[in-house]
Amino acid sequence: MLIEQRDSLRGEINIPGDKSISHRAILFGSLAKGTTEIEGLMMGEDCLSTIDCFRKMHVSIEILPNKVKIHGNGLYGLKPPSAPLNAGRSGTALRLLLGVLSGQPFSSVLTRNEAVLRKPVGKVVAPLRQMGANITGRENGNICPLSIQPAKLTGKTHHVSILDTYIKSPLLIAGLYADGETTVIEEVKSRDHSELMLNYFGADIKVNGLEVTSRRVENLYAQHIQVPGDISIAAYFITAGLIVPNSDIVIKNVGINPTRAGILDVYKSMGAKIEILNERVVSNEKVADIRVVSSPLNGTTIERSMIPRLIDEIPIITVAASVAKGTTTITGLKGFKTKESGKLSRMIAELSKLGATLHETEDGVIIEGKEHLKGTVVEGHNDAAIAMSLCVAGLVAENETNIRKTQVLDIAYPDFITVLNKL
């Protein structure tokens, strides 16, 4: 993929629907009584895996040109699948499905694609077992495939660390089927799409600061869902608009849920000109149009308490920091997937090839901003976040930037370059 330096970006764009919200819309629509219509659904491989799993449990799901219709049978209306349920590559689908299947009166087998089969899932399985879930699998239920047998669930109180916030939603979902109250107490506030959408569908979810409590309900009820644009995808265009000179772009219909929109706070602390326009609430989620005007950015400090609100955006933030004035320090990444998986190290290595100055630390990264990057050959590592971040860096690098190993974009966001070229 060849990226040329640009002297401006201008125009209005739309971006794909939020993947986290899309998964939940499929799942809660399938558990609700009546027909749920979803517009703006992210129709990528991961969400199609979620659809496939619920079809195997005899939920009728129609994929139409501009919307998806789910004819739900109600909270207790799923039927035993005749084959194993495959969550594909999606960790989100796997975790949410575990919450659902733990409370069903039938047996099921849940697995995932061969490429991710050995990824551990024990941190989700263990607290569900504490509630009474009967889940078995390889390495004591830590590795798929998992067998889930019928069991009586009882609500428990779970304390969740900053590193394990992803277990909150499965527990709240299992709480719909459990006797008593299921309470999750978080170390910091994490993304709350499940709480918002469950209540939109008629659940009884109570939020009190860092405590979230789920209770058994008789049913969920079908709704109309408009999925907002994914702020994690908007982040690439926001960053491009800030660092490419003479730019003025508007990204339409973006989800700005405060538990996800940490990148906006970071960029504003760096001096970014970002306007939130037409702010509204759609399907219980905050949505707005985001206007971005090119801005001289200054270095900033990002601490551990902020990380859950912007963990997916760390790679693109390193790009912005690389061309900002002064030093940006990101701390508290130790234990988070972005650092432990090596994604941060790979991002640092590739930006360094473009002339950026970054130093990985034990728990984060220090970035010394500089005025110019220089185009060269870099590797996208077949990682969508790295590939798109390097594309944005290439827009401000002198001459051309050749990014290799970007095939993953054909799955993750095939229209990325097309949308970028519209600006």
Residue 189 is assigned to a ligand binding site: no
**Does residue 312 carry a catalytic annotation?**
yes
Query: Is 91 annotated for ligand binding?
Result: yes
Burial class (CB in 10 A: 0-12, 13-18, 19+), 37: middle
The answer to the question of whether 7 is labelled as a binding residue is no
Q: Is 165 annotated as a binding residue?
A: yes
- Tokens found for residue 327: 């030093």
Name the residue type at position 289. D
Q: How large is the angle between the packed helices 168-175 and 193-200, nearest 10 degrees?
A: 20
Burial (Cβ within 10 Å: 0-12, 13-18, ≥19) of residue 217: middle
Is residue 180 helix, strand or coil? coil
Phi/psi of residue 179, nearest 5 degrees: -70, 140
Q: In what order do the strands lie in the sheet with 377-379?
A: 2-4, 400-404, 377-379
* 3-state secondary structure at position 70: strand
Dig out the tokens for 84 from the structure.
């194993």
Instruction: Pick left, alpha or beta for residue 216 (phi over 0 → left; psi -120 to 50 → alpha; otherwise beta).
Output: beta
Catalytic residue among 18, 192, 289, 312: 312
Distance CA(300)–CA(294), nearest Å, equals: 18
Is 418 marked within a binding site?
no
Cβ atoms 10, 249 nearer than 8 A: yes
Evaluate the CA torsion angle 297, 372, 338, 360 in order and state its sign. Answer: negative
- Residue 69 annotated as part of some ligand binding site: no
Q: At what angle do helices 45-56 and 91-101 cross, to 10 degrees?
A: 20
46 known ligand binder: no
Give the active site residues: 312
Q: Which residues are annotated as a binding site?
A: 19-20, 24, 91, 165, 312, 339
Q: Which residues are annotated as a binding site for phosphoenolpyruvate?
A: 19, 91
Q: Which residues are annotated as a binding site for 3-phosphoshikimate?
A: 19-20, 24, 165, 312, 339
